[in-house]
A and B are shown apart, each in its own frame.
Chain A
Amino acid sequence: MKLRLKTLSASTVLALGLVSGQAMAEELRFTVWTGSEAHLKMLNEIAESFKATHPDVTVRFETIPAADYTQKLTFQLAGGNPPDLGWMMEDAAPTFAAAGVLMDLGPTLREAEGYDFADYSEPALGLWVDGEAVYGVPFSTSPFMIYYNKTLFDEAGLEDPLQLAAAGKWNMDTFQDVAKTIKEKTGKWGFEFKDGQGYESRIMHALMPPIRAYGGDVWANGECGFDKPEAIAAVQQLHEMVFKDKSIVPPGEQGDYFSGSSAMTINQISRASKMPEAGFDWGIAPLPSGPAGESPVIGQAAIVVFERGEQKELAAEFVAHMTNKENVAKMAQFFPPARKSVLESEAFTAANALIPADQMAYVSEAIEKGKVLPSHERSPQILAAMAPRVDALWKADADVKQALAGVCAAIEPLL
């Protein structure tokens, strides 16, 4: 009997302990699309430092692959199982904000001690702010850069893009010339679209940089820009490079920059983590300028809190912590910041161990001058309507002007 009593009281204590422990310790679930160990290690360190003010709060980072990210996130929201916070890509932002599923972080951020909200570059916040409301804090404002294979440029006896940029000769014409020479002299491709997906899932990443370099835009203020002379000239040049010069990896062909099959590609600095194992000399350079001068293109991602989450106030506090000056400086090694103080600091140009300071300086410059990729409340529909018309463009005998008019006809009702 005595023994039974003892067991009973012990288990009661244990149960009570568990219950109270559960009530005290809180866990925030945070969805991200990176699976990189280096990225996750850094994120976990930031979560750990949150314990200084919130000793009982842990943050669990959950990786969802980028290709399915928005879709899976939507299902978690629809299924009544929203994460507390998450990363969000620029093209999804307007849809989610319009649906009212993002929490307004403005009050929390403005009240947070030492946060200095005004330090955020205003153009960089454009997509995430509506009046006083703040629906997300950009953690990555990452311009698209040219990655080049220095070994191949040397082999072809060419000045590389960084040297050309330093000499003020890096423009769409020299870009076409060097790509063509590379193909002729080395047999490798001159240029590959981002991740080799420029004809399929990354149409925008393929077309935006040259169109902006020529002074055009894909759409603005509800009007399609593909059929404007600037866009036509830009796409015409790409078309020539693909089918006449045969210097850009053509549709249906695989030409991987990271394994040395293409001399240049376009990507963001987070991808530099892939370079040490590439086995060739490499560097990054700005995008070639065009008739409209330099016009960097930026891809953006932000941290958001979900309105339907049960711990949204706490989640908002974590956003304030994660995006304070100190942590933004820490994240800058992978994700270029939107905080002016960090961007202008020397610490930023020295932040990435893989990229030399002179190349990082071009990254800072691009962030200051660049424009974010276009986005729209109906982005998924617009991209789906565009895709078949863009397919028609990527044929050797295509009439570029006519094909682009077709793109506009398809997307205009959706803009």
Chain B
Amino acid sequence: MAEALREKSSARSWRAPRLTLRQREAIEAWLFVSPTVVGFLLFFLGPLVAVVYFSLTEWNLLTQEATFVGIQNYVDALSHNPDFWHVLRNSFVFAMGLVPLNMALALTLALALSRPFRGVVFFRTVFFAPVVTSAVAWAIVWRFLLQGEGGAVNQMLALIGIDGPNWLREPDWAMVAVIVTRVIKMVGLNMILYIAALQAIPRDYEAAARLEGASNWQIFRMVIWPLLAPTTLVIFVITMIGSFKVFDHIYLMTGGGPENGTLVLAFYIYEQGFKFFNVGYASALAMIMFVIVLVLTVVQMTLRRRDMQ
């Protein structure tokens, strides 16, 4: 009898264990998120880890020869390559020019267009349209407008007696030109974010401040601007990351020229990896760019958090 009982119990132990509700839910939840998780691992984390590994090799794409070289690519970039520092400087100039200009313009437009008035939708559409315009079409049109002698921009400047430069063929002016045309293209996106944030601020705050006798500037400075801080932080971070990653615009407008005047980091990485096939070196540069953007973002977030407190 005891034998029989033991047999029975061991037979029961072979049956699939009964799951608790909690466990069942956990399994179901994992099944639901698994497509995303697999996608994340395969297409995001995988390549990211691979880039770290590639950056430690000297790998020629064409010959398929890869040798492990340790941190040599990083050493080469940071100490033996004057081009790298020039390119890094260009990237910072681009970001320092683009981010403030873009944010200031976006905020100004948002303040003007956040309240309803006749035609507001039209104006919002006008400023947002470039965001959804093809980058190629945008670049082709601007290359025509910015021609040295026959360009529309210079012809307009000539009307007010200014002899405009050959915009895309002089290194300093080319940088100005790519920054401004990029700002005009992308400002609509930040404008929409600011409009959403402005519309979320209760009107009572402004009314209360006005009762206290605050001027428009005081209301903006003391009430609206602080309340926009979280949005400003988000906009700053995405605009800055975007400006460090800028590639298509440079590729289409100047190809990094003239005289490497607009050769920015993302474009330089492309050249190294896709034109010279130095995949290892390009990966190391990509890691450096990743770290720079990460540091800038963390610094900005820390400062902001302290500010808000």
Contacts and interface: CB of A to CB of B under 8 A. Distances in A.
Interface of A: 71, 74-75, 77-78, 95-96, 99-101, 199-201, 250-254, 380-381, 384, 387-389, 391-392, 394-395
A252 B148 contact: yes
A99 B60 contact: yes
Given A200-B255, A388-B258, A252 B169 contact: yes
A78 B148 contact: no
A394 B170 CA distance: 10
Contacts of A99: 60, 62-63
A254 B166 CA distance: 13
Contacts of A250: 148-149, 166
Nearest to B170: A395
Question: Ordered nearest first, which 5 A-B pairs have the shortest CB separation?
Answer: A391-B258, A252-B169, A99-B62, A252-B148, A388-B260
B259 A391 contact: yes
Contacts of B146: 252
Contacts of B30: none
B275 A78 contact: no
Given A254-B147, A391-B258, A74 B276 contact: no
Contacts of A389: 259
A380 B276 contact: yes
B70 interface: no
Interface of B: 60-64, 143-144, 146-150, 166-169, 171, 255-260, 271, 274-277
Contact of A391 (B143, B147, B257): B257
A392 B259 CA distance: 6
A95 B62 contact: yes
Nearest to A383: B275
A252 B274 CA distance: 26
A74 B62 contact: yes
Contacts of A77: 62
Given A78-B61, A391-B258, A71 B148 contact: no
Contacts of A388: 257-260
Contacts of B60: 99
A242 to B, nearest CB: 11
23 contacts: A71-B275, A74-B277, A75-B61, A99-B60, A100-B63, A101-B62, A250-B148, A252-B147, A253-B149, A254-B143, A254-B147, A380-B276, A384-B271, A384-B276, A387-B256, A387-B257, A388-B257, A388-B258, A388-B260, A391-B169, A391-B171, A391-B257, A391-B259
Contacts of A394: 169
Contacts of B276: 380-381, 384
Given A200-B255, A253-B149, A391-B258, A380 B167 contact: no
Contact of B62 (A78, A200, A391): A78
Nearest to B277: A74
Contacts of B148: 250-253
A99 B274 CA distance: 16
B144 to A, nearest CB: 6
A304 to B, nearest CB: 13
A71 B168 contact: no
Given A384-B271, A388-B257, A391-B257, A253 B61 contact: no
Nearest to B64: A78
A389 B171 CA distance: 12
Contacts of B277: 74
Contacts of A199: 169
A253 B256 CA distance: 17
A414 to B, nearest CB: 11
A78 B167 CA distance: 39
Given A74-B62, A253-B148, A380 B259 contact: no
Contacts of A71: 274-275
B62 A253 contact: no
A388 B259 CA distance: 4
A254 to B, nearest CB: 6
A75 B62 CA distance: 8
Contact of A252 (B166, B256, B271): B166
Nearest to A100: B63
A71 B61 CA distance: 10
A394 B171 CA distance: 12
B146 to A, nearest CB: 8
Nearest to A246: B149
A200 B64 CA distance: 30
A361 to B, nearest CB: 38
Contacts of A254: 143-144, 147, 150
A75 B147 CA distance: 35
A199 B64 CA distance: 33
Contact of A253 (B150, B171, B258, B275): B150
B62 to A, nearest CB: 4
A383 B236 CA distance: 37
A132 B150 CA distance: 55
